[in-house]
Amino acid sequence: MDNGGAGELLRILRDGRPRTRADLAAISGLGRAAISARIEVLLEVGLIVPVSDAASTGGRPSARLAFNPGAGLAAAADLGATHATVALTDLSGRILLETTEGLEISRGPEDVLDWLVMTLQDQLETMGRPGSDVVAVGIGLPGPVEHSTGKPNSPPIMPGWDGFDVPGYVQQTFDMPVLVDNDVNIMALGERATHWPDEDNMIFLKVATGIGSGVISGGVLQRGAAGVAGDVGHIAVSNAAGIPCRCGQTACLEAIAGAPAVAAGLREGGVEAITASDIVSLVRSGDLTAIKGVRQAGRDIGEMLNMCVSLINPSLIVIGGSLAQSGEHLIAGIREMVYARSTPLATQHLNIIQSKIGPDAGIVGASILAIEHALAPQRVNELTVALQPGGHRNTFLPDMDHITRAS
């Protein structure tokens, strides 16, 4: 059966707005008969539902249909250098159950992924849902990933992971699509899905121990030829001239504006600080040395972002990561340099702001990665087969505000 049209109807309804059959015909350009056949398929597996209309009291079924994020689950994992989070979400990326633990990525792929799979099984049991309710698994890793195969590509802080078949290993337990990407890329996906669905050209910049970015151009997350697009931490900036970086080069942005470098600068100024959270606490307590240090880091980051603005012409730059918690002082330094140097046209409609989603960016983004794959129009056939009718599904309308935590 040709379900191309069903995928298109689902794509239209995924913005959460209920629509009538006439609305769907007008937007999709499909005929009335084609619409009816395709709606039936989607209703059968619960991906769309009739909306209970408050105004209707006559008992007639509502004429409006809506996407039902409760028709299935997505599994998400955000694996960092020293901690790991696993969650189950609905099909809109809403977190239903979340578990976070201290876990060193350097323990190697088998240990870490065994924990991931076990945690997911526990979560499914807690919720009383079968594994077949999960449409896909999304995983974020702290290093470069070849997105097409899901294999880490020479990751510097992940011994044992280079070239490891992450999807294949997880699929031994969960026989479904497994999508893997870099942690900053999934943060960009999470930030966009929750707060900026209409921004087609944006950069999500993570400022923490390392500095990296996720680039969305033309509405699509860009991974580049080898999966290392957005790797901006080792771009040379003038203030870092001569300063050695952990990558083996000198003059890298990270070597002067990453959290360890900023902390070292504060210690030279007589202020005790080691981690990003030390710096953030100092800034929040009004420590002048810390405020000056963070603002200067912002300027150095801004020098690098100038080039990004010229090259990809974004309308939004979102600053996230632990050092971004120091708030407006960092952003002010960034803005100072970007607006001083970039061309008027490139900055005419440019916003530079702090991340709105905050620490959940990664886990929500991993869920979005899985959902975007499973619900892509060309895959609706597979999805409607996987979501057999008769399984028990929750039915509710999208709501990103209420988040339940298990940890």
**Positions in the binding site for a second copy (CB under 8 A):** 2, 4-5, 29-31, 34, 144, 153-154, 200-201, 213, 215, 217-218, 220, 222-232, 234-236, 238, 247, 249, 303-304, 306-308, 310-315, 341, 343-346, 348-350
The Cα 246–Cα 64 span in angstroms is 57
- Residue 153: phi and psi, rounded to 5, are -120, 100
Comparison of 13 and 87: residue with beta carbon closer to a second copy: 13
Separation in Å, CA 386 to CA 140, 226, 383: 24, 32, 5
Comparison of 270 and 344: residue with beta carbon closer to a second copy: 344
- Residue 140: phi and psi, rounded to 5, are -105, 135
Comparison of 33 and 54: residue with beta carbon closer to a second copy: 33
Least distance in Å: CB of 377 to a second copy? 10
Comparison of 14 and 234: residue with beta carbon closer to a second copy: 234
- Alpha carbon dihedral 84, 90, 93, 94, in 10-degree steps, equals -80
Least distance in Å: CB of 14 to a second copy? 18
The Cα 73–Cα 93 span in angstroms is 9
Least distance in Å: CB of 23 to a second copy? 18
Least distance in Å: CB of 88 to a second copy? 30
Least distance in Å: CB of 352 to a second copy? 13
Least distance in Å: CB of 93 to a second copy? 22
Comparison of 226 and 274: residue with beta carbon closer to a second copy: 226
Comparison of 7 and 46: residue with beta carbon closer to a second copy: 7
- Residue 212: phi and psi, rounded to 5, are -150, 170
Comparison of 166 and 251: residue with beta carbon closer to a second copy: 251
Least distance in Å: CB of 115 to a second copy? 27
Comparison of 8 and 360: residue with beta carbon closer to a second copy: 8
The Cα 186–Cα 182 span in angstroms is 7
Comparison of 191 and 303: residue with beta carbon closer to a second copy: 303
The Cα 142–Cα 145 span in angstroms is 9
Least distance in Å: CB of 116 to a second copy? 25
Least distance in Å: CB of 381 to a second copy? 8
Least distance in Å: CB of 214 to a second copy? 11
Comparison of 88 and 337: residue with beta carbon closer to a second copy: 337
